[in-house]
Chains A and B, each alone.
Chain A
Amino acid sequence: MSYIDIDSLETTLSSDQCIKCNICTASCPVAAVTDLFPGPKAVGPQLQRLRQPAALSQDQSVDYCNGCGVCSLVCPHGVQIAEMNAIARSVQMDRDGIPLRNRLIGRPEPLGKVGSMFAPLSNIPLAIPPLRWVTEKTIGIHRKAPFPSFSRRRFRSWFKRHQSDNIIGRRKVVYFHGCSTNYYEPKVGEAVVKVLEHFGCKVSIAEQNCCGLPMQSNGEFDAARENAKSNIEKLAPYVRENYVIVGSSTSCTLALKHDYPNILGLQGRDVDLIAKNTYDIFEFLAELIDESDIDPRFRHVNEAVFYHPPCQQRSHFMGQPAVRVLRQIPGLTFEVSTADCCGVAGTYGLKAEKYQISRDIAETLFAQIDRNDPERVLCDSETCRWWIQGHTDVNSVHPIELVAEALPR
């Protein structure tokens, strides 16, 4: 497995296709709320010329891109603006140095290992305001940014004890649970396994690392590549044995599908194999239900929920598959968010200098939640859920949890 020089990646070369129409800037949630970010066009294709072949530009504003990816999607000319900006950020970080704070929040895996080992004790410091104040002043993690609680019980230990009825299964699935499910929200993983098994799948979990996205979006491309390579080596043998990779975190699966080759520049047969055989849980479920024409026999669920499709989900190019599945649950009524981004964008909103920007972006979504007054907010991405729940006080869950609740007993 090798990786190619980012200056010759097609991603960066696509800047030539830009006609400066500004559709991306009009859709950018960050440019909409702050003038610290001049917009995707300005720091993307426009500045790109000054970055070739080496980093000549001293402009720092690309660090204010939150990586939601909407610019690449709305571009009618195929310019990969968000990808270009992620790469430019890493070049800038290489040059200027990566802050300790970025290294810390880029590593949920070692943090999770230690944190879950000492839970619930390890959750106490996060709840002490003076301590949060000190953390903000020393390393720049905003005191009001909501953090999830470490779970003492890990998903992987639950799975080891879990007895499955589906030894053969009509589809073989290797589940990429990601760090959040293992260390913070094992209930999400339990729901995934329960639902997949209900639909006749044989579920395995491979050895796996953090997908590397948090390091990538904090500018540490080399470290992210190490994680990516390790995951590819561990998952490829499964795919060769006709397993499909299914993940419940839209950002982890996007890293496997898209970021490894297109942002980190990894190349090789196994990279393509992983990219082509990775599915978001709802993308997989919707196809499974469609293909086999099975009646899911969902139970009646008398609830009004609000669904926010996270921004990374749109970069999967799969539509809104959670909606297609949820619509089949009788009695469930839901409103779909039209907000482009919840604001937090992974680790962006945790940073002291960016927290307020994220809060301002969130206004559109929070106003919609407020208007709809739902019992629960559904969202496929963990960082969005924590951010939404932390600020609105409305319980926020993964839509797969609701599907698991609706399964026939």
Chain B
Amino acid sequence: MANGKLVIVGAGLSGLFAGILAARADFDVTVIARGQGNLILGTGTIDIHSYQDRARLELPAFGALDQGHPYHQLSNYALNDSVELLREICRRRGNPLVGDIDKNLLLPTALGTVRPTALAPISMVAGDLRDESPLWIGHLEGFRDFYPQLMSKRLAQQVHVINLPQGIPFGRDAYTTDLARALDNFHKREQITNAWRKAVLDYRKTTRQTVTRIGLPAVLGLENPRVVLADVEDALECHVFEIPTLPPSVPGMRLYNILRAELLTLGGQLILGPSVTGEISKYQRASVTMHTANKVSKDLNADAILLATGGFGHHGLVANVNGTVSETVFDLPVEYAEDRSTWTAEHYLESHPYTKFGLRTNSQMQPLDAKGKLVADNIWACGSVLAGADRVSEGSREGISLATAFAAVENIIHTLS
């Protein structure tokens, strides 16, 4: 029989990853989320810590970070081991991640900015800008929201644009997923890559350029990205790399599908749709209830509850009209600034103080109240609901999600067994 019942609220990276860890430890795991997690909106890369200063690529020592930073109270192996496990799962399931935990790749964005990230799917790494050679970017006919001209205007590198035809007809505006699924299909892939090949050959002939690497919007297959990448590289006779697009993000969906399959195969349960509310008894025992959109409520049996609900963007935290900030499942005490005028910085792209609001925990990842006391004996928290980090400006979202999920599950196992 199972070692205990764990209910995880949230199906983003930290929720699914925690579910996998607990299912591996023979826990009865239920991951429940109000809709699909946020992976489908992300880039499918793993940011560990990139600092605002792009020149500094090395990871800072955890001890040198702010006391309140989620990394600060973790042991180094939480990050190392969780990233290693994620790499193993992704490799085994056909979408290997490339890179190092303590160095950053520099990848181009669709807007022509440089984005540091620690690990990226193998399909993105040929775009690494540490290699200062020119880039060729494919402009896909009929595909909206991707304009290589933007990249050529803004990147320091030399950027050339190659127009690539659709290859096959689409009856409507092609979404990223439409292109990815077409490329997954052997026959359609052949038609598309043949059309691209011809366009690139013509381009080579007319410009007499030696095309060494071509960037494409990230649509190179949902099911078999390795096969698609290899076939496209064969056809175009150069390196090919993906550039993340607007959502729905194909690399994000790949990561979601991989983690979901791993969780289900290990016997974990996944419930998408309902919202979850919780209560804490006077004996400090927490319990949770799920509520479906059609107003059916059901108590979930749980020895331990792990909050992986995310921050403001994912409804783990909400800012109320009266200027308070709430945690959405238990209404736990949230660390935030009372003076609302201090929440935001002057400029949009600066680091905003509100991004550091969230739950404060002890080093066992159990939420604390303002006095530093445990709020309940059986609640843990991980991921973006935690206080102390501006995940966007410091580029640390996925690293925090993985490492805190790892630490939380380690402590849940320790506590329950």
Give the B-binding residues of A (Cβ under 8 A): 10-11, 14, 21-23, 25-27, 32-33, 35-36, 38, 72-78, 80, 257-258, 261-262, 275-276, 290, 314-315, 317-321, 323-324, 327, 335-336, 338, 364
Are B30 and A319 closer than 8 Å at their CB atoms? Answer: yes
User: Across the two chains, which residue of chain B brings its CB closest to A276?
Assistant: B296
23 of the cross-chain contacts (CB-CB < 8 Å) are A10-B294, A14-B293, A21-B247, A22-B175, A23-B36, A25-B248, A26-B175, A26-B176, A26-B177, A27-B36, A36-B171, A72-B293, A73-B36, A74-B272, A76-B315, A78-B35, A290-B301, A317-B292, A318-B271, A319-B270, A319-B271, A338-B261, A364-B223
In the docked arrangement, what's the CA distance between A178 and B253, Å? 37
Within the complex, the shortest CB–CB distance from A264 to chain B, in Å, comes to: 12
Are B274 and A23 closer than 8 Å at their CB atoms? Answer: no
Are A35 and B171 closer than 8 Å at their CB atoms? Answer: yes
Specify which chain B residues have a CB less than 8 angstroms from the CB of A25 in the assembled complex. Answer: 175, 177, 248
> Contact flags (1/0) for B157-179 with A, using CB distance below 8 Å?
00000000000001110011110
Within the complex, the shortest CB–CB distance from B225 to chain A, in Å, comes to: 15
> Contact flags (1/0) for B15-49 with A, using CB distance below 8 Å?
00000000000001010001110001100000000
Asked if B226 is an interface residue, CB under 8 A from chain A, the answer is no
In the docked arrangement, what's the CA distance between A338 and B94, Å? 15
Asked if B181 is an interface residue, CB under 8 A from chain A, the answer is yes
Specify which chain B residues have a CB less than 8 angstroms from the CB of A80 in the assembled complex. Answer: 293-294
User: Across the two chains, which residue of chain A brings its CB closest to B293?
Assistant: A78
| Given A78-B34, A290-B301, A336-B264, residue A32 in contact with residue B181 (CB < 8 A) | yes
Within the complex, the shortest CB–CB distance from A221 to chain B, in Å, comes to: 17
User: Across the two chains, which residue of chain A brings its CB closest to B181?
Assistant: A32
Specify which chain B residues have a CB less than 8 angstroms from the CB of A324 in the assembled complex. Answer: 28, 267, 269
User: Across the two chains, which residue of chain A brings its CB closest to B262?
Assistant: A338
Within the complex, the shortest CB–CB distance from B1 to chain A, in Å, comes to: 8
Asked if B265 is an interface residue, CB under 8 A from chain A, the answer is yes
| Given A262-B294, A338-B261, residue A72 in contact with residue B170 (CB < 8 A) | no
Asked if B364 is an interface residue, CB under 8 A from chain A, the answer is no
Q: B272-309: which have CB < 8 Å to A? A: 272-275, 290, 292-294, 296, 298, 301
* New A-B pairs, 14, CB < 8 Å, besides A80-B293, A80-B294, A317-B273: A22-B247, A26-B175, A26-B253, A35-B170, A72-B273, A73-B35, A73-B272, A76-B34, A76-B35, A76-B315, A319-B271, A324-B267, A336-B261, A364-B223
User: Across the two chains, which residue of chain A brings its CB closest to B174?
Assistant: A35
Specify which chain B residues have a CB less than 8 angstroms from the CB of A336 in the assembled complex. Answer: 261, 264-265
Within the complex, the shortest CB–CB distance from A83 to chain B, in Å, comes to: 8
Give the A-binding residues of B (Cβ under 8 A): 28, 30, 34-36, 40-41, 170-172, 175-178, 181, 223, 247-248, 253, 257, 260-261, 264-265, 267, 269-275, 290, 292-294, 296, 298, 301, 314-315
Are A317 and B271 closer than 8 Å at their CB atoms? Answer: yes
User: Across the two chains, which residue of chain B brings its CB closest to A360?
Assistant: B185
Are B273 and A275 closer than 8 Å at their CB atoms? Answer: no
Within the complex, the shortest CB–CB distance from B313 to chain A, in Å, comes to: 10
Within the complex, the shortest CB–CB distance from A2 to chain B, in Å, comes to: 18
Specify which chain A residues have a CB less than 8 angstroms from the CB of B260 in the assembled complex. Answer: 338
Q: Which of B248, B264, B296 sits near A22, CB closer than 8 Å?
A: B248
Are A32 and B273 closer than 8 Å at their CB atoms? Answer: no
| Given A22-B247, A80-B294, A275-B296, residue A323 in contact with residue B267 (CB < 8 A) | yes
User: Across the two chains, which residue of chain B brings its CB closest to A263?
Assistant: B294
Q: Which of B175, B181, B264 sits near A323, CB closer than 8 Å?
A: B264
Specify which chain B residues have a CB less than 8 angstroms from the CB of A320 in the assembled complex. Answer: 264, 269-270
Are B273 and A23 closer than 8 Å at their CB atoms? Answer: no
In the docked arrangement, what's the CA distance between A75 and B11, Å? 13
Are B35 and A35 closer than 8 Å at their CB atoms? Answer: no
Are A261 and B248 closer than 8 Å at their CB atoms? Answer: no
Within the complex, the shortest CB–CB distance from B180 to chain A, in Å, comes to: 10
Specify which chain A residues have a CB less than 8 angstroms from the CB of B264 in the assembled complex. Answer: 320, 323, 336, 338
In the docked arrangement, what's the CA distance between A5 and B187, Å? 48
Are B36 and A319 closer than 8 Å at their CB atoms? Answer: no
| Given A319-B269, A338-B261, residue A76 in contact with residue B36 (CB < 8 A) | yes
Within the complex, the shortest CB–CB distance from A364 to chain B, in Å, comes to: 7
Are B294 and A26 closer than 8 Å at their CB atoms? Answer: no
Specify which chain A residues have a CB less than 8 angstroms from the CB of B273 in the assembled complex. Answer: 72-73, 314-315, 317
Within the complex, the shortest CB–CB distance from B101 to chain A, in Å, comes to: 29
